[in-house]
Each structure stands twice: as structure tokens, then as C-alpha cells.
Amino acid sequence: MTRDVGGDTSGDAGRGTPSRPLAGSGVALHRAYDTALLDLDGVVYTGGEAVPHAVEALAGARAEGMAAAYVTNNASRTPAAVADHLTRLGVAAGPEEVVTSAQAVARLIAEAVPAGARVLCAGGEGLRVALRERGLVPVESADEDPAAVVQGYGGPEMPWGRLVEAALAVNRGVPWFASNLDATIPTPRGPAPGNGAAVEVVRIASGGTRRPTAAGKPLPPMHRETILRTGARRPLVVGDRLDTDIEGARSAGSSP
């Protein structure tokens, strides 16, 4: 199996013209790279269903000795829940092979606030668990004196009140973090508002002058988290979005 290497995505490439021609690889992927860093939504699955041929391709790569890590900007679920979903689809995966933007932003926050600090969490269970794993205490009100506020995708059922509390805290000057800034998230029915859309709500409601410190793809904290957790030395990034997966790979020096 070989791969094509995409052209530079800057300059003329932004207008659809690659700055260099596509180049083939004469080396099998499992020999050229030690770990595949795979996006999930739109790459391995869409909604509750596997992307066609993804299960077979991943099984083949694993059989050839290539490690896999499942790297997602979706902060709503825990790694254990994601691994269970993958297993039900036929992809052999454990929680230790899943890396989420919730884990990446929790590390950033833990490096910025005292141990055991309260963090106002406007997100789902995946974000709350990641904060607890870093010794932080998730809270839900701006009146609980949080040392930081963090936003992460919480799914369509996340209460609007959590955005209200986040906006109040941000307006009071509390340090502000976001798991990622994706404006949309893919669903079987089409694109839906992502965490970036929720971040914009808080930004506007808090005066519009501040922006959060974000961790997810394409920013460096997500790549750092992935490498720290996987130990990958020659990673191959597999994704479906130029603005997150591929841009993140190129900025980090990995192969997309």
C-alpha cells in the first residue's frame, strides 16, 4: 500500500492549486510510519455507523504491525466510551488508544492553575472526566469562584445555562480555555454546530474582546498530547478536514 502526499496548503493551494505535485510513496505505510493518528468523525465513523471499508483497512494495518491512535476534537465522550463505540463497530481499540481534545485542554489548564482548583466546565462528561484526571474540580456556576473556565462540545442536550455561566465567568476575567474551535461537527443529517460555535456565543455575550486558549487540532497542544500518550516517533495523520487534521499535521511536522 502506498500513499499520495498532498501539496502545500498555503498560498496558491488555498485557491485550489497545489504548490508542488502529488508524490507517491514506494514504501508501504506500515514500514514508513510507526503509528497512524486517525481522526474519528468522518474518517472512522459518521454518527453510529462505520465509514465504508474503514474497519477492514484498520484491521489490515494492525495486522502489519502498525499502531493506531484515535485522535478526536470531540470532547463530549470519555476515551472508554469512544473505545467501546469503536469495538462495537468492529475496530479493536482500548481507552489508552483514544486521545481527545478534552485531555489536551485539561493538561493546559493543570499547567496554569493550582492543583485541586475549581474549573467551570461548560461541556460534556468527557471534559469533566479529563479535568478530574488532572486533579481539578469541575463546577457549574460562575459563583463558585472558579480558577478557570473551559468549553468543550457537550452534544445537543447540553443546557444553555452552562453557556450563561461561562459567559459570566469570562466577563469577570477568569482565564478561559476551549477544547477546540471547530465551528461545526459532522452528523449523519449534515453539519451541526460544534464547540467553536458555542465559544462564539460566550465571546459575544462577554463583550467580544477576549478569546480562549484552545487545545484541539490544528493547534500544537493536541499534537503534543497525542505524542506524549502514544510515544509515536514517525506518525501518519489520517483526517478529513484540511483546517484541522491536515493543517495540524503540517504545522507539527507530521505526514498527512
Annotated catalytic residue, options 8, 34, 41, 182: 41
Which among 233, 128, 246, 234 is positioned nearest to 179, based on CA atoms?
Answer: 128
Long-range own/partner contacts, residues 164-167 (CB < 8 A, 24 or more apart):
164/205, 165/120, 165/122, 165/140, 165/141, 166/120, 166/122, 166/142, 166/202, 167/201, 167/202, 167/205, 167/206
Question: Is-contact 152 163, C-beta < 8 A?
Answer: no
Q: What single DSSP character describes residue 91? A: -
Distance from C-alpha of 67 to C-alpha of 61, rounded to nearest angstrom: 8
Annotated catalytic residue, options 12, 39, 145, 245: 39
Q: Please give the single-letter amino acid code of residue 239.
A: G
Query: What's the Cα-to-Cα distance from 217 to each of 141, 221, 223, 230, rounded to whole Å?
Result: 28, 8, 7, 16
> Is 4 annotated in the active site?
no
The C-alpha cell of 29 is what? Answer: 505505510
> Is 145 annotated in the active site?
no
The C-alpha cell of 221 is what? Answer: 497542544
> Cis bond leading into 218, ω under 30°?
yes
Distance from C-alpha of 241 to C-alpha of 179, rounded to nearest angstrom: 17
Helix (H, G, I), strand (E, B) or coil at 199: helix
Active site residues: 39, 41
